Amino acid sequence: MESLRKLIRFNIEQNIKGLYVGGSTGEAFLQNVAEREKILETVADESDGRLTLIAHVGGISTAESEVLAKAAKKYGYHAISAVTPFYYPFSFEEHCIHYRKIIDSADGLPMVVYNIPALSGVRFSLDQINELVTIPRVCALKQTSGDLFQMEQIKRKL
């Protein structure tokens, strides 16, 4: 964890204002829940209130995401974020239930819905995205699709 602490200090020295912790680039899906929680704790401890922190808590299991959402709240994160559950073909309503349960577990933290269809295999329609962002406590959409046409539609509609 010392290397992680060093990286956080470096980012603070560079005047970075916030971190999105545990996303795809951070290889979160190669880590178990205990490892992911330890990373959330370490980042919060080392940043010591100097950064805005968003915890990526997404995963294939709603239960694991709920554990991580509770940890994010415990360690003082400002928001949570989650990809859709992947691998299995969940219905849109099941995706909404997934997000609501995670949000409830985070006890008031805002949620950033992370839409990354190339890696999740889930492709939401414009109407579905609109419905997702109207779930209470959803504050933003992390749109990582590369579909510029859909991005323009989202920009116009939302």
Q: What is the pLDDT of residue 151?
A: 86
**Does a structural domain hold residue 149?**
no
Q: Which of 6, 73, 114, 157 is catalytic?
A: 114
Q: Which of 38, 73, 101, 142 is catalytic?
A: 142
3 state DSSP class of 35: helix
- Bridge partners (DSSP) of residue 143 are 115
**110-150 pLDDT, tens digit each:** 999 998 877 787 888 889 999 999 999 999 999 887 888 88
Within a 10 A sphere around the Cβ of 52, how many other Cβ atoms? Answer: 14
Q: Can you give the pTM of this predicted structure?
A: 0.92
Question: Which CATH number does the domain housing residue 124 bear?
Answer: 3.20.20.70
Q: What is the DSSP letter of 76?
A: T
Domain residues for the domain of 130 are 2-9+18-143
Q: How far is Cα 28 from Cα 114, in angstroms, rounded to an integer?
A: 14
Active site residue 73: no
Number of domains in the chain: 1
Active site residue 142: yes
Lookup: tokens for 60? 């294939």
**44-66 pLDDT, tens digit each:** 999 999 999 999 999 889 999 99
